[in-house]
Structure 1
Amino acid sequence: MYVGQLEFLNEQAPDGLKSFGSALCMTSISLGNYISSLLVSIVMKISTKDKMPGWIPGNLNRGHLDMFYFLLAALTTADLVVYIVCAKWYKYGKFEGMNGGSNNGNKGSDSSV
């Protein structure tokens, strides 16, 4: 997923903003890791009540990982809906490179060679 995101940002960004796109990609990876840790902490705090082990205990046989994975499936479904809305709203932008050609890698190539 991150390779596709980086390729998309490099293709759709103007020449002066390509490094910003790479930085944005790396920032989204790090924020995703922090949010994942926060999600596990919140689930453990909410699901651990009255000396019950919670959804993700130290001994996984006593927990309810199935409930945690159902929560992840629901969050992924919501994320898919947001992605589809954004993908329908997005308009493909084609930028020209510094030589006046498009960014498809065929800058002045001669096919008769």
Structure 2
Amino acid sequence: MVMDRRIRSFTIPAASLFTFDIISVIFWVLIYDRNLVPIARKVTGLERGFSELHRMGIGLFISILALVTAAVVEIKRLQIAKELGLDLTDEISVALPINILWQVPQYLLVGAAEVFTFIGQFEFFYHQSPDAMLSLCSALSLLMISLGNYLSSVILTVVTAVTTAGGNPGWIPDNLNKGHLDYYFEFLAGLSFLNFWYMFYILSIIRRSRLPSS
């Protein structure tokens, strides 16, 4: 809402940006099946190209790139806001001279991350569970997604409470020109990196436990 949403005579609804996430998912599903899997199959020798854990790892890494991209765009937007002095006013609806389409790359990256992560997650639960528990394990994967949404709300609430202590405007105030939404994206990128590292740490422990003892 605080970016230029005009493309000639057309004004892009701010909420419609999520459409690019859907477009990205459709695109990457096609590319994934027709191009990436055959290439990966030749490299890894695996029937499905990537293992389930490889896919989830790739998805987690791409999600980090999406958050970093969002932070970079917000840093640039705040820079323009400060140059125009909008960080010193209470006006919250002034459109800055930076087009909203600069947000498209982060939505495309989120779509790619969803394709790798969710496909890997569903296949992991499906192939690694007993036949009698296929439905239950598939439901568990959806449960993890819902719990992630609740965790996201908790993180946002905690960050807002901490950053607004002492009368500060916080990272995500009503007037984003006075806040630091870029800090929030960087914080989430840091959490995602820790999650990414922890996943490979656990995998390394499992791999060592499977090595034959000397």
Aligned to 2:102: none
Secondary structure at 1:13 match in 2: coil
Residues 31/66 of structure 1: CA separation in 2 closer, same or farther (3 Å cut): same
Match status 1:36 vs 2:152: yes
Poorly superposed stretches of 4+, deviation over 4 Å? none
Shift of 1:49: 2.3
Task: Please name the residue that 1:104 is paired with.
Answer: none
C-alpha RMSD of matched pairs (Å): 1.4
**Structure 2 gaps, min length 5:** 1-116, 208-214
Matches within 5 A, 1:18-33: 18-33=134-149
Write the deviation string for residues 32-64 of structure 1: whole angstroms up to 9, x where unpaired.
000000000000000002322100111211111
The percentage of counterpart residues that share the same residue type is 40
Count of matched residue pairs: 91
1:61 equivalenced with 2:177 (yes/no): yes
Cα deviation, residue 16, structure 1: 0.9
1:12 to 123, 128, 140: 128
The CA distance in 1 between the partners of 2:123 and 2:174, in whole Å, is: 39
TM-score by length of 2: 0.40
Higher normalized contact order (CA 8 Å, seq sep 6+, divided by chain length): 2
Q: Which has the higher strand share?
A: 2
Q: Distance in 2 between matches of 1:90 and 1:25?
A: 21
- Greater C-alpha radius of gyration: 1
Which has the larger helix fraction? 2
Give 2:165's match in structure 1, choosing from 35, 42, 49: 49
